[in-house]
Chain A
């Protein structure tokens, strides 16, 4: 866990977020966002609203176009190679997993540990076994990602992020393309991580996930924010989301859609 619980894990002040693929393009402006340890944030937005770019910036995969971003109290601009260990306190799960296609699932999961700790392959693989069991991936351990269904690839990506025991976990649209059973598993497991799970030594993990459908994320403990018109709008807890008058929020809650269906 963070040495000082009072220091926010993520703190953005007037941050402008550039697109990952085109640094000249600003996708989100003037973000003021603070994430305290063990909080669970859900950032909602429609497609191409800059959710992934915001999350990648939060993970330290790019610098802000302007503004200040502090990760565990350290200004992002002061991070160098020597502070890599600090940055690895953040784990990232890409939408779709983005696993390495030439490696098997177990090799994918073990790779970060093997590389960062310079462990022998057998030792890193052994460490990955418990995560394989925990995430029900054991039968797929020796299969390469192209031969695995998307939902399981997503789980393998989660295991890969968890193997370095991060304190903050960032998930890019983890619910995308999941069936009901997988979705339920994800929501339950993320909640366990947020409250403290054996795989993180019982310590609560700070979580921020993006979403394009708010309904599955209903939970009183979670905090919500909205990305709309290049703006980052904190919404608050679930009861404030439900009463929000924003048309985009209503769409993300599928209220309008349901009404339309009823009309038809």
Chain B
């Protein structure tokens, strides 16, 4: 029974969500300082909730890695497919567009100064380190994260979470863990494909613009501009993006009792917070690049 209480604690008590909701519903105070304090307090409660949810999810991933494999493995595969494989056609298009866009702007700027030799390294800085991972994260958030909130919010509103608990199935294990793993691996893989596609389409566009650069020189520039740190931080950053997008969207969908009419509003809030979290993670990695 305490087991179920623990599971329910995972979903509500640990995050004091009841308090968060009550706080949301109270009327805003009139004075600006009070209003600022209200917003700040709400922000801190959300950070606390998200942090606790992330830690609980990590705990469940580690503790229950071998539990119910026959159920969990297909679910993880399904989530990898949903947050990765199914998005490949869209990412192929985005990769083409991104390569054209960055090269188009860069070539015209670099050509003024006769610095087209820096085309490869510019692509590395812009696409590998920044735009590729961030754009992937935002697109996955929009396509899969939103669906997460709606699916989980609806499941919560229809009492499916209580049904799982009654059957002795931990909702965090069954509903959240596959999504977190699927999205972390999905964002990582899609970023790699996006970067490769954008770099290739970038050269294609440079070739069409008559830039005097052979494919060998172009890819040599890129290879020289890339260091081991780029690969390590790219992997870490994309996995962090995927993990936290899943945490934010699942937290909003599952960790609070919802009525059906609240689901759409919660989805909007989750996407906003997801974007903020991605930008914060990106800022953190910029600092890491600068320090390293």
B173: nearest chain-A partner, CB-CB: A115
Q: Assess A21 versus B167: contact at CB under 8 Å? Given A98-B159, A114-B71, A119-B70.
A: no
- A2 within 8 Å of B by Cβ? no
Q: Tell me if A80 and B2 are in contact (CB < 8 A).
A: yes
Chain A residues with Cβ below 8 Å from B151 are 102
- Complex CA gap A96/B155 in Å reads 14
Chain A residues with Cβ below 8 Å from B3 are 79-81, 83-84, 87
Among A63, A80, A92, A101, the residue within 8 A (CB) of B158 is A101
- A67 within 8 Å of B by Cβ? no
Chain A residues with Cβ below 8 Å from B217 are none
Q: How far is the CB of A70 from chain B (nearest CB, A)?
A: 10
Chain B residues with Cβ below 8 Å from A102 are 151
- Complex CA gap A116/B166 in Å reads 12
Can you identify 15 A-B contacts, CB atoms within 8 angstroms? Answer: A22-B18, A24-B18, A60-B1, A61-B8, A61-B165, A79-B2, A80-B3, A83-B3, A96-B159, A98-B159, A98-B162, A100-B155, A100-B160, A101-B160, A161-B166
- B257 within 8 Å of A by Cβ? yes
- B215 within 8 Å of A by Cβ? no
Q: Tell me if A81 and B6 are in contact (CB < 8 A).
A: yes
Interface residues as binary, B56-80 with A (CB distance below 8 Å gives 1, 0 otherwise) = 0000000000011111001000000
Q: Tell me if A111 and B166 are in contact (CB < 8 A).
A: no
Which chain A residues have a beta carbon within 8 Å of chain B's beta carbons? 20-24, 56, 59-63, 69, 71, 76-81, 83-84, 87-88, 92, 94, 96, 98-102, 111-112, 114-116, 118-121, 124, 160-161, 164
Q: How far is the CB of A252 from chain B (nearest CB, A)?
A: 25
Which chain B residues have a beta carbon within 8 Å of chain A's beta carbons? 1-6, 8, 18, 67-71, 74, 151, 155, 158-160, 162-163, 165-169, 174, 257
B3: nearest chain-A partner, CB-CB: A81
Q: Tell me if B1 and A79 are in contact (CB < 8 A).
A: yes
Q: Tell me if A21 and B257 are in contact (CB < 8 A).
A: yes
Q: Tell me if B159 and A118 are in contact (CB < 8 A).
A: no
- Complex CA gap A115/B69 in Å reads 8
Q: How far is the CB of A27 from chain B (nearest CB, A)?
A: 16
Q: How far is the CB of B68 from chain A (nearest CB, A)?
A: 5
- Complex CA gap A59/B174 in Å reads 20
Among A63, A100, A114, A115, the residue within 8 A (CB) of B1 is A63
Q: How far is the CB of A164 from chain B (nearest CB, A)?
A: 8
Chain B residues with Cβ below 8 Å from A24 are 18
Q: How far is the CB of B96 from chain A (nearest CB, A)?
A: 34
Q: Assess A94 versus B163: contact at CB under 8 Å? Given A114-B70, A115-B174.
A: yes
Q: Tell me if B71 and A76 are in contact (CB < 8 A).
A: no
Q: How far is the CB of A64 from chain B (nearest CB, A)?
A: 9
Q: Assess A71 versus B68: contact at CB under 8 Å? Given A56-B162, A94-B163, A100-B163.
A: no
Chain A residues with Cβ below 8 Å from B167 are 88, 111-112, 115-116, 160, 164
